[in-house]
Amino acid sequence: MYTTEVLINDFENFNLYVNSLKTMEEPLFFEPIAEGKWSTVEIISHISFWDTYIRVETLPQMKSNAAIQSIDFDTLNNQAANYALSGVSQQHLLEKQLKARKQLVSALRKKKEEEFFATFSLNGAEVDQYSGYPHSIFNYIAGFIWHDNHHKQQIDGFLEGKGTELKK
């Protein structure tokens, strides 16, 4: 059974991957993963911005029957991409992500089990369009685990195409 504890642990484990990115050659870190796509620095900044936004803005509102209005995805994603390309170093950005995820995981661990299953509406929808399940903290975090893995696969595919891999 996929429990709340396992969910939180899976979410936290993304930091193991982020730590491995410290071994990525810096030029590759800033190179787009494909034509018209973000670079690894932009991807990690994007995840960091979302982790912070979830912890500060969204998670406190996630209560039974709440009507939550989320920020426009493109607005936050553009802020994250601009930050990534502002001259920030690889190591600084990775540390920022590690901290953002740790803080969000800490906030999740303070929630009671029943809080993970309280349902709410998000941007006017009762049901998540991707999973088909009602919006809840549990479902929301499960969606971000999928999101983390999606970006991890993109980065790994890019590195594989470059004939390199991360040192674990």
Q: Which two tokens stand for residue 29?
A: 């870190």
pTM of structure: 0.95
Task: Name beta bridge partners: 32.
Answer: 39
- Give the model confidence (pLDDT) of 121-132 as tens digits: 999 999 999 899
pLDDT tens, 91-138?
Answer: 999 999 999 999 999 999 999 999 999 999 999 999 999 899 999 999
Contact (Cβ atoms closer than 8 angstroms) between residue 4 and residue 138: yes
> Alpha-carbon torsion 65, 71, 76, 79, what sign?
negative
Q: 4-161 has which CATH code?
A: 1.20.120.450
